[in-house]
Amino acid sequence: MGHSVFRGSLTRTKRLSLAATALAAVAAVACSSGGYTQSDDTRPAANLNAPAATATPLVIEEQRSLLESLEQYPSFKDEESGFGVILGTPDLGVGQNRVAFVMTDSDFGIVKFPFSRVETFFLPDGPGGKKEGPVERVNAQFFDFPLRVRGIYVADLNLDRAGAWEIFVTIPDNDGNRIGIRFPFDVADASASVALGARVPPSANRTLSDVDSIFELTTAGKPDPLLYDRSIKSLLDEGRPFVVTFASPAFCTNALCGPQVEVLSSVGERHSDIAEFVHIDLYENPDEIKGDLSKADRTPILEEWGVRTDEWTFVVNGNGEVVAKFEAFVPEEELEQAVVRFLEQPG
């Protein structure tokens, strides 16, 4: 009978050696997102008719607070194999997409192999029907979160049709076999958030000049004032490039969010010459919440931008157009690469 995981006869001892052999195995995995060093005819054959993992609650050996808001992200678990996935980017539309996910193992928690292989399949008849593909094969890169407690896999995928899709994500074991999990996801005609290439709304977010205290603008414990001195509308009026993060630092309570505002501030310190950096909290009244989200009022700016999950970052050029966007946590390295690539002028 087909299972959602392809893993061969992997024993606990061999699984324990995965972390120890990860660095040595990097050479066997292509470092670009465009292909693999291993030829297709040497790959173990996957069962393309196997069902995708079912959506069941994940059990992760981490702080319980990380699980409190998982309901906004699709999560999948294969009970037999112990592998699980949390999809951090459910807002997917036709076209090029950054797809991010956390991969877990019931024995070891977060899977941190440097690269995972991602294969996509289109399901013209919906889940449980025939599969077309693989449509695309790329490598997802693993990024550690600050303090190396958690981490996320990121891949750029061209999802060229709306409808039901499936991802098959695998990593190698120390015997050269590939182990992993397949899971379904949906692609809409267009993403709900502001699309790549689209002009952003002229949001009139409050700034330091509008309040008596910076803590009326953010739940951050030690906020950086430079992130709160400009409104989106004023930056658009000036034609000034900017990076904006929507997040609530005090309420980062799931496996897909991280210290995004600190990352924004750090990148901003190095690139303030080419862009402004702005943080907009998810809540209008952060100074009144005091740890009780029942008192919280979500800012209407989230609706203007089509933001539905709890951590987003957009890179916007001088024409007011989105040139890069990131749902869930974007690591510092990934964000800085986007800022330099899209906002830094040549010469």
Q: Residues 45, 163: one domain?
A: yes
Q: How many CB atoms lie within 10 A of CB 184?
A: 22
List Cβ neighbours of 277 (8 Å cut-off, separation of 6 or more). Answer: 226, 227, 242, 243, 244, 264, 265, 267, 268, 271
Helix (H/G/I), strand (E/B), else coil: 271 = helix
Q: Please tell me the distance from the alpha carbon of residue 95 to that of residue 76, in angstroms, as a whole number.
A: 24
Q: Is residue 194 part of a domain?
A: no
Q: Give the end of a domain, one of 156, 187, 218.
A: 187
What is the tens place of the pLDDT at every residue in 53-76? 544 333 333 332 333 445 789 999
| pLDDT recorded at residue 254 | 73
Q: Residues 177, 261: one domain?
A: no
Mean pLDDT for the stretch of residues 7-24: 35
What is the tens place of the pLDDT at every residue in 131-171? 999 999 999 999 998 877 789 999 999 999 999 999 999 99
Q: Give the end of a domain, one of 187, 219, 238.
A: 187
Q: Residues 40, 177: one domain?
A: yes
Q: Please tell me the distance from the alpha carbon of residue 290 to that of residue 187, in angstroms, as a whole number.
A: 38
Please say whether the beta carbons of 250 and 290 come within 8 A. Answer: no
Q: Residues 141, 252: one domain?
A: no
Q: Is residue 201 part of a domain?
A: no
Q: Is residue 178 part of a domain?
A: yes
Q: Residues 264, 337: one domain?
A: yes
Pairing of strands 163-172, 95-105: unpaired
What is the tens place of the pLDDT at every residue in 279-289? 999 999 988 88
Q: What is the CATH number of the domain that holds 223?
A: 3.40.30.10
Q: Is residue 203 part of a domain?
A: no
Half-sphere exposure for 123 (CA within 13 Å, toward CB): 22
Q: Is residue 170 part of a domain?
A: yes
Of the given ranges (25-29, 130-134, 246-250), which has the lowest mean pLDDT? 25-29
What is the tens place of the pLDDT at every residue in 294-343? 888 899 999 999 999 999 999 999 999 999 999 999 999 999 999 999 99
Q: Is residue 1 part of a domain?
A: no
Nearest partner of 87 among 309, 347, 332, judged by Cα: 309
| pLDDT recorded at residue 311 | 94
Q: Give the end of a domain, one of 142, 157, 187.
A: 187
Q: Residues 167, 217: one domain?
A: no
Parent domain of 172: 12-187
Q: Could you give the number of structural domains in the chain?
A: 2
Q: Is residue 197 part of a domain?
A: no
Q: Is residue 202 part of a domain?
A: no
Q: Residues 42, 167: one domain?
A: yes
pTM metric for this prediction: 0.81
Q: What is the CATH number of the domain that holds 56?
A: 2.60.40
Q: Residues 164, 16: one domain?
A: yes
Pull the structure tokens for residue 338. 């986007």
Pull the structure tokens for residue 269. 């310190």
Whether the pLDDT of residue 5 is over 60: the answer is no
